[in-house]
Amino acid sequence: MFSFSRLMLTLSLPLVTLGITPLLAQAADFPTKPVKIVVPVSAGGSADKLTRILADKLSAKWGQSVVVENVPGASGTIGAARVAKAKPDGYTLLQTGEALTLNALLIKTLPYDSATAFQPVIKAVVNPQILVVNPKLGIDTFAQYIAVSKNQPGSISLGLPTSGGIAQIAHEILNRQTGGSVNFIPYPGGGPAAVDVIAGHTNATLITLAAVTEYVKSGQLKALAVTTPYRSDALPEVPTMAESGAPGFSVESWQGYLAPAGTPAAVVNKLNQDLVAVLKDPDVKAHLETLGYGVAASTPEQLATTLSEDHQRYGKIISEAGISIQ
């Protein structure tokens, strides 16, 4: 069981016992050199887009470079491992979401302990996953997609932004609800997965909505349905899966940032406060919502709760459905 809340309490004890003045001074000066944000998937996807938007704003706010480093591979665990081993000073952050929990549940051996290696900083945004297909495929509705996946099992090739990520879990849940089956093809990120659907190399992808909003609006991809119980204001004409043939279906993903465990609480709070300020800037918020994100701007404690709840929810789903990642 994840124990991020206990971890945060443990990390905060030195502030009480040793005094907060040195750490507050450290946070007040932070950052005094470039900050690196590791995005554990390829460039071009929603995680990369979000992080680059925030990095530009933070760089202007801090007067320091904020470098985005894409480290794809092994379902995001290579990038996560790099941050887990980084110096806990706030200068190296990890972009992640529910993938951190899913990897812990589905991968037997990880190069880090997900429950103790990281310090929650912020849940930045929430977002639907969206099912999109190549417009020339001949499937125009979610109901048609389900019918083909049931009547012609495995005939639809579906690119996954990453093996074992929320898209695969969501589609596995959908398969079990509808009786369908598709051919999963893992990619090292949402960008490459979407590009291959556009090019016709694969038929479809289930992906974070913000990664393909512009492709849908331009007609390069055909949107069939979103995974959340609500429609997205960015693409309000796209129905939910629940209203289109999968009653009760609901999956919402999130994206946020973590620091290595042991990062001083005052520095974590400074990072959180500055990220919240950027996320709530009216222009930034409007831009993110246009792309399809919902701004969450949580506290570190709220992110710790999300991580714990994810572990319980997805652990139950994976166990009951017998989901495994090869």
At 35, is the secondary structure helix, strand, or coil? strand
Query: Which H or E run includes 32?
Result: none
Range in 1-5, 76-80, 320-324 the model is least confident about: 1-5
Residue 26 is predicted with a pLDDT of 61
C-alpha atoms less than 13 angstroms from C-alpha of 60 in its C-beta half-sphere: 7
pLDDT score of 312:
95
Q: What is the pTM of this model?
A: 0.87
Q: What is the model's pLDDT at position 15?
A: 44
Q: Which residues pair with 207 in a beta bridge?
A: 130
Look up the CATH superfamily of 128-226: Periplasmic binding protein-like II (3.40.190.10)
Domains 4-124+255-321 and 128-226 share a fold: yes
**Gap between the Cα atoms of 32 and 49, Å rounded:** 25
* Planar angle of CA 140, 144, 145, nearest 5 degrees: 90
Average pLDDT over residues 44-63: 96
Q: Measured between alpha carbons, how far is 87 from 280 in angstroms, rounded to an integer?
A: 29
Cβ–Cβ < 8 Å for 271, 93: yes
Is residue 17 within a helix (H) or strand (E), and if so which, with residue range? helix 4-18
Q: What is the pLDDT of residues 62-91, one digit of tens each?
A: 999 999 999 999 999 999 999 999 999 999
Is the pLDDT at 6 greater than 60? The verdict is no
> Cα–Cα distance between 95 and 102 in angstroms, integer?
15
Q: pLDDT, tens digit, for every residue of 107-139?
A: 989 999 999 999 999 999 999 999 999 999 999
- What's the pLDDT band for 23 if we cut at 50, 70, 90? low
The full set of domain ranges for the chain reads 4-124+255-321, 128-226
Number of Cβ within 10 Å of residue 260's Cβ equals 22
Least confident of 2-16, 18-32, 191-205, 298-312: 2-16
**Domain at 4-124+255-321, CATH class:** alpha beta
At residue 183, does pLDDT exceed 70?
yes
- How many angstroms separate the Cα of 99 from the Cα of each of 9, 23, 40, 161, 165? 24, 31, 10, 11, 6
DSSP state of 239: P
Residue 243 has pLDDT above 50, yes or no: yes
Question: Which of 169, 165, 174 lies closest to 143, judged by CA?
Answer: 174
pLDDT digits (tens, 9 = 90+) for 245-270: 999 999 999 999 999 999 999 999 99
